[in-house]
A and B are shown apart, each in its own frame.
Chain A
Amino acid sequence: MALILDLIGGLFVGGFLLIIALSATDTATTEFYNYNSDAIVQQNLARMSDIIQYDLRKMGFGIPEAQKTTILSISQPNRLKFLAHLNSDPDCKMNITGLSIDNIVDSVEYQVVPFDSIDYYDTVIVTYQVRRRIFISPNYTSEMSIGIIGNPEAFRYLDQVGNPVAFVSETRMVEVTLTAYDPRVVLSKEWVDSRLNEIGNEDFRKQELRRLLRASYWRQTRLISKNLKR
């Protein structure tokens, strides 16, 4: 009898511990996943920013003084195109294999275009792709996506004291803003739905949705090309 009681007691305690353990493991896995996603997103945003920074610092390189006003050929919030001489000198050329040296001006273009849209209860979120296009004479062309962001307008054009410009020619620096959603929001519609399904009150649901969909990561860099500010 005592043995049976021991076994029952053991099973009860063991089962209880097992439930706690499973619950703890589930929470731990979720947390681990979140931290991991956070780290990846943070790293990706930083890399994306590095690439843009690398390119924008070359804006106007090798463009003669008299043609300075033509350096920024497109300056829209979602599109930026500029001229730079990217293969003028062995010390001053893009790190691309097989690139020859010449005296012809090249161009770099960035464009933010819609990438995907996800339909939620009360709204739709759109993610955007940052596309980078490089043309280096005589015949090197490269077009690629450098990442996915949450904001449709990434570029702001500022004068030398940091005020938004009214005219392109005033531009002395470019402010780049990159935001990203919480990866769970983008990767798992079910996860968001599961948090909203149980909420009956519409206002509270919208509030919760707003909280979930807020931009989780944000990076802003003001870049000055010395070639624009000779």
Chain B
Amino acid sequence: MLGKGAILTVFGFILAFSMYQVRMSSNVLATADNFNSQYVETLIHESAISAMNFAINKVWDQHASNDSFYIHANECTSRVRIFPVGADTTKITVRTWGYLFDSETQSIVKRERTMSSFFTLGGGTAISEYFMFTNNSSGLFWVTGCTLWGPSHDNSVMHTLGKPVFYGKMTANKGISPDPASKKNKAEYHDGWEIGIDMSIPTDMTHLVNAAIAGNGAAAPNTKCIYNQVTSFEFLANGDVIRKVGASPPDTVALTAIAPNGVIYSTADIRIKGVLDGQVTLYTTKDVWLDGDIRYKDNPMTNINSDDILGVVAQDDIIITDNAVNQTDIYVDACMVCVEGGFEAQNWGSRPVGIEYFLGSLAEDKSGCHGVANSSGTVIKGFQQRMRYDPRLWGGDFYPPNFVLTPNKFRLASWWE
């Protein structure tokens, strides 16, 4: 009797422990299933991103605007569709799926993920959106104390030393030195940085010339929008301009009368100063000389709604004249572009020390010189620069009339996961 009882007891224990073992195993398996499920989800997500990158590459390199294909990777399948949405927008959708064994239902379940992205071929933004835009910054270092308030671009290698501060996004084509990802680079990039962006100052100014021709109508040269002699413009706060063409005596005209389209075009040097009330872009195939302060009547730093804006586009250089009024300081409110030259001070190596207050944006082919500093950074000849970004220019929605645009480019507009 005892023997039978003992056998029954032993079998009972075996049964009980077996059941316990099964339940323990199922728990351990549940943990493993949880991990597997996460792994498969990650795999599907990574596959969807890979498929999206593949599609983006097709749009970029092969200019695909309407396409559909499958990609198999990571044991997952992705269906990619590329199609246009409107005239300048391309949409990419990716649907990726994979399979997973579900221990609860004891069946294979399908896991799916979709992703969409929109890319727009921008008509280019006004170059004045960039606070500093340089084709070649050779020899230029952004150092401690330099603060760039808007987005900036350097189409060569951008150099930093110490702790300059970039409030806008900083982009460079050939790199940033030292590498901003390393601890050696102490600069502050408040809106991030990006390298490999190849974008130079456009050289085709036909649209400015055409705007001036259209505004000029049948008027004789040197009377309205088109000039072929050295011309001085002294802007007056009432919206008029004292104009002096070549050796002719000066006359006073309304800015809106000589620039109905907002553009003045010259094939000779232009000299400017004064207080601007209105909007105008000056374009010359030669140099622009700053003979004195050039300021907005309504200061955008105190009134963001100011509508005064000056565009200065020189095929060569924009130069601060070495004259009596510019000895101690100069105020410059403008959006400037030097297509093949730079912004510089005349006699920068020998003129007395002064302060240059700049408000606006500057795009130049190569960096011009403004003064000489000693080894401790103190300016001993020429100008100390105090440069501020015109806050109205941020976003590229506000700019001088018919201003220079950056080249068309594809931009990521939005990404949905």
* A contact set with B: CB distance below 8 Å: 6, 9-10, 13-14, 17, 21, 24-25, 28, 31-32, 35-36, 38-39, 42-43, 46, 50, 57-58, 60-63, 65-66, 69, 85, 89, 91-92, 159-161, 166-167, 169-170, 172, 225-227, 229-230
Asked whether, in the complex, the Cβ of B414 is within 8 Å of the Cβ of A227, the reply is yes
Report the separation of the CA atoms of residues A187 and B158 in the bound assembly, to the nearest whole angstrom. 58
B61 is an interface residue with CB less than 8 A from chain A: no
A-side contacts of B5, CB under 8 Å: 10, 14
Give the secondary structure class of A's interface. helix
In contact, A169 and B93 (Cβ under 8 angstroms):
no
Bound form: Cα–Cα A163–B163 in Å: 16
Which of B21-29, B250-258, B290-298, B332-340 is near enough to bind chain A? B21-29
Interface residues of B (CB under 8 A from A): 2, 5-6, 9, 13, 16-17, 20, 23-24, 27-28, 30-31, 34, 37-38, 41, 93, 114, 116-117, 167, 180-181, 188-193, 394-397, 411-417
- What 8 pairs between A and B have smallest CB-CB spacing? A66-B395, A226-B415, A57-B417, A35-B27, A92-B416, A161-B181, A39-B30, A230-B412
Residues of A within 8 A of B24 (CB): 28, 31-32, 35
Shortest Cβ distance from B192 into A: residue = A160
- Point out the residues of chain A lying under 8 angstroms from B411, CB to CB: 65, 230
The residues of B that contact A63 with a CB separation of less than 8 Å are 414
| A31 (CB) vs chain B CBs: closest residue | B24
Q: Of B31, B117, B192, B412, which one neighbours A42 at CB under 8 angstroms?
A: B31
Residue among B192, B395, B396 with the highest chain A CB neighbour number at 10 A: B192
Whether B416 contacts A61 by the Cβ 8 Å rule is yes
A83 to B254, CA, bound (A): 47
Residue among B117, B180, B191 with max Cβ neighbours from chain A (10 Å): B191
Residues of A contacting B189 with CB < 8 Å? 159, 170
Jot down 27 A-B pairs with beta carbons below 8 A, ordered by A.
A6-B2, A17-B13, A28-B17, A28-B20, A28-B24, A32-B20, A35-B27, A36-B27, A39-B27, A39-B30, A39-B34, A43-B30, A50-B41, A61-B416, A65-B411, A65-B413, A66-B394, A85-B414, A89-B116, A160-B192, A161-B180, A167-B188, A226-B117, A226-B412, A226-B415, A226-B417, A230-B411
- Residue among A25, A85, A92, A229 with most chain B CB within 10 A: A92
CA distance A21 to B167 in the complex (A): 71
What separation, in Å, do the CA atoms of A167 and B34 have in the docked complex?
37
Q: Which residue of A lies closest to B25 (CB)?
A: A35
Contacts of B31 in A (CB 8 A): 35, 38-39, 42
Return chain A residues, CB-CB under 8 Å to B188. Answer: 166-167
Residues from chain A with Cβ under 8 Å of B190 in the complex: 167, 169-170
User: When chains A and B are docked, how far (Å) is the Cα of A92 from the Cα of B416?
Assistant: 6
B93/A160 in contact, CB under 8 A:
no
Q: Which of B24, B415, B417 gathers the greatest number of chain A CB atoms within 10 Å?
A: B415
Question: Smallest CB–CB gap between A37 and chain B, Å?
Answer: 10
A169 surroundings in chain B (CB, below 8 A): 167, 190-191
Instruction: Specify the chain A residue showing the minimal Cβ separation from B9.
Output: A17
Is the CB–CB distance between A170 and B20 below 8 Å? Answer: no
Q: Which residues of B contact A230 (CB under 8 A)?
A: 411-413
Q: How far is the CA of A92 from the CA of B181 in the complex (A)?
A: 34
Closest to A43 in B: B34
Q: How far is the CA of A43 from the CA of B104 in the complex (A)?
A: 14
- Which residues of chain A are near B397, meaning CB under 8 Å? 66
Assess the B23–A62 pair: CB atoms within 8 A: no
How far apart sit A47 and B37, CA to CA, in the bound complex (Å)? 11
Say how far A206's CB is from chain B's closest CB, in angstroms.
Answer: 31
Determine the chain B residues whose CB is within 8 A of the CB of A92 once the complex forms.
116, 414, 416
Q: Are B416 and A21 in contact (CB under 8 A)?
A: no
- Complex Cα distance, B2 from A169, in Å, reads 81
> Shortest CB–CB separation between residue B275 and chain A, in angstroms?
29
Q: How far is the CB of A9 from chain B (nearest CB, A)?
A: 8
Q: A43 to B33: give the CA distance in the assembly, Å.
A: 10
Provide the bound-state CA to CA distance between A62 and B118, in Å. 9
Q: Cβ of A170 and Cβ of B34 under 8 Å apart?
A: no
Q: How far is the CA of A9 from the CA of B6 in the complex (A)?
A: 12
Shortest CB-to-CB span from B193 to chain A, Å, is 7
A229: B residues at CB distance < 8 A: 192
Q: Which residue of A lies closest to B415 (CB)?
A: A226
Smallest CB separation, B241 vs chain A (Å): 33
